[in-house]
Chain A
Amino acid sequence: MASSSSDEEFRQWIPFRQRPEWSDVKPLPQDDGPSPVVPIAYKDSFVETMDYFRALYHGDERSFRALSLTSEAIQLNPGNYTVWHFRRLILEALEVDLQNELDFTEAVARVTDTCRHHRRWIAEKLGTIATSKELEFTRKILSLDAKHYHAWSHRQWVLQTLGGWDDELSYCDELLEEDIFNNSAWNQRYFVITNSPLHGGLKAMRTSEVSYTVKAVIAYPENESSWRYLRGLYKDDNHSWVNDAQVSSACLKVLSAKNNYVFALSTLLDLICHGFQPNQEFRDIVDALGTPDSDRQGSDLAKSICSVLERVDPIRANYWRWRRSKLSQAV
């Protein structure tokens, strides 16, 4: 049963009790309390299909008719994990060509975790011949929901287990062009540059990635993901972080524009805490952001930054106050 339209299914559907090839099966209702009272015929089909499923599951019948029954049950309720489990047992018993099975999952009306688990199991068995189909499958889900958490974890699993890294960085480019705020795409970018055998690793990619990210933070300074990514490029290398002029000048640029500067300020604070020596230009720009009496903390720029943040990011006032107190301790 490949179609997914529920109306069509309803018109074509013949109750199991009327199908001669099922006459030997005694349906097993859900042992859950009083029998369900369901008003419309569509729900009848659901209940009856599940009653017949239970009968075969209970009898552990791993036949072709059982396989087609699981197809019907899955179309009606793709979330029921036990039906998928039993389907796998049947597939193993019948030694079905699993490439066709990938096509079956494509036809399932709603993509669920159960569907995804099933594909992973198939892909593990098929190996690298499944790679492009799996990448395509996740790409389809992500085209509808570019932040779908499980689609991303499935995609990462495919890349690590089966490969297919060739176009992954440009895929990230594509997604970030559509939505520069896509945290999953930024995470994937990091995943690619640190794991892909095709690139040289984090240090080798750093220069180009910094340029890419600096453009992003300047264009959309309120983007938490891009600032975090920038920081991540200097993993375990605070010295380079502090000394990269691109980073500090990006902060300066954003602060000068006096708009959406919270992350730029916290980045500057982070730089100072790691030894960055701000020149007069930085001091002037932070002063310009402060209100005359409240924020200026004498010559201590870091403290002034914390005061500004306390004021412009009030929902996290406690956090910024704590940051300021920590500065005193450091001294």
Chain B
Amino acid sequence: MGELAAEKHVEYILSVEKKKDSFESVVMEHLRMNGAYWGLTTLDLLGKLHAVDVDQIVSWIIKCQHDSGGFGGNIGHDPHVLYTLSAVQVLALFDKLDVLDIEKVSTYVAGLQNEDGSFSGDMWGEIDTRFSYIAICCLSLLHRLDKINVENAVSYIVSCKNLDGGFGCMPGGESHAGQIFCCVGALAITGALHHIDKDLLGWWLCERQVKSGGLNGRPEKLPDVCYSWWVLSSLIMIDRVHWINKEKLVKYILDCQDLDNGGISDRPDDAVDVYHTYFGVAGLSLLEYTGLKAIDPAYALPVDVVNRIFIGRQSKKES
């Protein structure tokens, strides 16, 4: 089996941050906030978060905040929950949540809940269980889950449960590992995992593993490194991760590395990007690969960051 080229991946992520003038970077500038989350969380998992300028990033994040309290994908962009969660997660990494007007942000997020318990992504109204997860995760990190109707939020998610035990984006939507992660994560955070048939879903999830050892997101689709996160974190949250072949999955992820230039791709020999680099490293962390910080499967943040938010610092506990 190969090894994780940690140094190369760190270099790759730092270089992406610097290449703001590349055409690809310019075209993707509207989702820079997501890119920041993927890149910085990966650096933290690799123990290299100190390599970046915290103050510069934090002041950029603040500039991305809209009057409504939500965050856009970059400066001058409209707010959306997708970027609001990423902003909160990045600030959490740096232990800088105190720069936020928590009431303002949480009011924006809570305001996106609909009567049936579902969540819209922004003012334009699209509904998707992804947004349920985002809202619940975000508000939980800010200790403001009380601002939403949790019971309705849970019942909407449960209404998206399919016969195979999985979840889709809306009631009737096809089960998809990404949506499943969102629904399971949201139910985990709200203490509602009892709504899941863990044996049935666990089986569906372990059927995602294909011969090469990689995981796909739905039956008869190709494997992709990002499912190493979504399928795996879901399995961990429902206590069924031992149903996949961990060794083969580790090998698959390692085979997706670009050992020369750093970064990880969706499949062996494809082009790398920050998104897949994050999911590959996060997946390896869940698989307890040596040298990586542990990551929380529900909050998708390093465990020490989550502990800091929910348990507090050691010194506080001791006093």
Given A31-B75, A32-B75, A85-B124, decide whether A152 and B174 contact each other with a Cβ distance below 8 A.
Answer: yes
The distance in angstroms between the C-alpha atoms of A261 and B172, with both chains bound, is: 29
Assess the A147–B23 pair: CB atoms within 8 A: no
Q: Which residues of A contact B43 (CB under 8 A)?
A: none
Assess the A81–B77 pair: CB atoms within 8 A: yes
Q: Which residues of A contact B244 (CB under 8 A)?
A: 315-316, 318
Q: Which residues of B contact A325 (CB under 8 A)?
A: none
Does any Cβ of B come within 8 Å of A212's Cβ? no
Does any Cβ of A come within 8 Å of B245's Cβ? yes
Within 8 A of A (CB), among B284-299: none
Assess the A32–B20 pair: CB atoms within 8 A: yes
Q: Which residues of A contact B74 (CB under 8 A)?
A: 30, 32
Assess the A232–B221 pair: CB atoms within 8 A: no
Does any Cβ of A come within 8 Å of B195's Cβ? no
Assess the B243–A322 pair: CB atoms within 8 A: yes
Does any Cβ of A come within 8 Å of B267's Cβ? no
Given A147-B221, A156-B170, decide whether A79 and B163 contact each other with a Cβ distance below 8 A.
Answer: no
Does any Cβ of B come within 8 Å of A43's Cβ? yes
Which stretch from A163-171, A182-190, A298-306 is at the chain B interface?
Answer: A182-190
Within 8 A of B (CB), among A178-212: 181-184, 187-188, 190-191, 194-195
The distance in angstroms between the C-alpha atoms of A233 and B176, with both chains bound, is: 20
Does any Cβ of B come within 8 Å of A22's Cβ? no
The distance in angstroms between the C-alpha atoms of A148 and B126, with both chains bound, is: 18
Q: Which residues of A contact B270 (CB under 8 A)?
A: none
Q: Which residues of B contact A153 (CB under 8 A)?
A: 128, 168-170, 173
Does any Cβ of A come within 8 Å of B211's Cβ? yes
Assess the A38–B21 pair: CB atoms within 8 A: yes
Q: Which one of A77, A194, A314 has the highest number of Cβ atoms from chain B below 10 Å of its Cβ?
A: A77
Assess the A315–B29 pair: CB atoms within 8 A: no
Which stretch from A13-21, A133-141, A223-231 is at the chain B interface?
Answer: A223-231
The distance in angstroms between the C-alpha atoms of A178 and B212, with both chains bound, is: 26
Does any Cβ of B come within 8 Å of A283's Cβ? no
Nearest neighbor of B217 in chain A, beta-carbon distance: A149
Contact of A232 among B30, B31, B164 (CB under 8 A): B164
Q: Which residues of B contact A79 (CB under 8 A)?
A: 27-28, 30-31
- Tell me the minimal C-beta distance from B205 to chain A in angstroms: 10
The distance in angstroms between the C-alpha atoms of A34 and B75, with both chains bound, is: 14
Contact of A316 among B20, B31, B206, B213 (CB under 8 A): B206
Q: Which residues of A contact B221 (CB under 8 A)?
A: 147, 183
Assess the A47–B21 pair: CB atoms within 8 A: no
Does any Cβ of A come within 8 Å of B242's Cβ? yes
* Chain B 247-286 interface mask (CB, 8 Å, partner A; 1/0): 0100000000000000000000000000000000000000
* Chain B 170-203 interface mask (CB, 8 Å, partner A; 1/0): 1011111000000000000000000000000011
* Chain B 201-225 interface mask (CB, 8 Å, partner A; 1/0): 0110011010101000011110000
Assess the A81–B73 pair: CB atoms within 8 A: yes
Contact of B20 among A36, A187, A315, A322 (CB under 8 A): A36
Assess the A36–B21 pair: CB atoms within 8 A: yes
Does any Cβ of A come within 8 Å of B9's Cβ? no
Q: Which one of A30, A31, A153 has the highest number of Cβ atoms from chain B below 10 Å of its Cβ?
A: A153
Does any Cβ of B come within 8 Å of A235's Cβ? yes
Assess the A224–B78 pair: CB atoms within 8 A: no
Nearest neighbor of A159 in chain B, beta-carbon distance: B172
- Tell me the minimal C-beta distance from B174 to chain A in angstroms: 4
Contact of B21 among A34, A80, A182, A225 (CB under 8 A): A34
Assess the B80–A81 pair: CB atoms within 8 A: yes
Does any Cβ of B come within 8 Å of A64's Cβ? no
Does any Cβ of A come within 8 Å of B26's Cβ? yes
Does any Cβ of A come within 8 Å of B76's Cβ? yes
Q: Which one of A32, A120, A317 has the highest number of Cβ atoms from chain B below 10 Å of its Cβ?
A: A32
Does any Cβ of A come within 8 Å of B63's Cβ? yes
Nearest neighbor of A314 in chain B, beta-carbon distance: B245
Assess the B27–A315 pair: CB atoms within 8 A: no
The distance in angstroms between the C-alpha atoms of A120 and B21, with both chains bound, is: 34
* Chain A 270-312 interface mask (CB, 8 Å, partner B; 1/0): 0000000000000000000000000000000000000000000
* Chain B 121-145 interface mask (CB, 8 Å, partner A; 1/0): 0001110100000000000000000
Assess the A81–B203 pair: CB atoms within 8 A: no
Q: Which residues of A contact B202 (CB under 8 A)?
A: 319
Assess the A228–B209 pair: CB atoms within 8 A: no
Assess the A195–B172 pair: CB atoms within 8 A: yes
Q: Which residues of B contact A253 (CB under 8 A)?
A: none
Does any Cβ of A come within 8 Å of B69's Cβ? no
The distance in angstroms between the C-alpha atoms of A124 and B127, with both chains bound, is: 13
Nearest neighbor of B76 in chain A, beta-carbon distance: A54
Within 8 A of B (CB), among A25-52: 30-34, 36-38, 43, 46-47
A-B pairs with lowest CB-CB distance, top 3: A187-B174, A36-B21, A224-B219
Interface CB pairs A-B, < 8 A, 18? A30-B74, A30-B76, A32-B20, A36-B20, A36-B26, A37-B21, A82-B30, A85-B124, A121-B125, A149-B169, A153-B170, A183-B174, A195-B172, A223-B220, A228-B163, A315-B248, A318-B243, A318-B244
Residues of A within 8 A of B (CB): 30-34, 36-38, 43, 46-47, 54, 57-58, 77, 79-82, 85-86, 88, 117, 120-121, 124, 147, 149, 152-153, 156-157, 160, 181-184, 187-188, 190-191, 194-195, 223-225, 228, 231-232, 235, 314-319, 322
14 additional contacts (CB under 8 A) given A32-B20, A33-B20: A30-B75, A36-B20, A46-B23, A82-B30, A82-B73, A121-B125, A149-B169, A156-B172, A156-B173, A181-B219, A223-B220, A235-B163, A316-B245, A318-B243
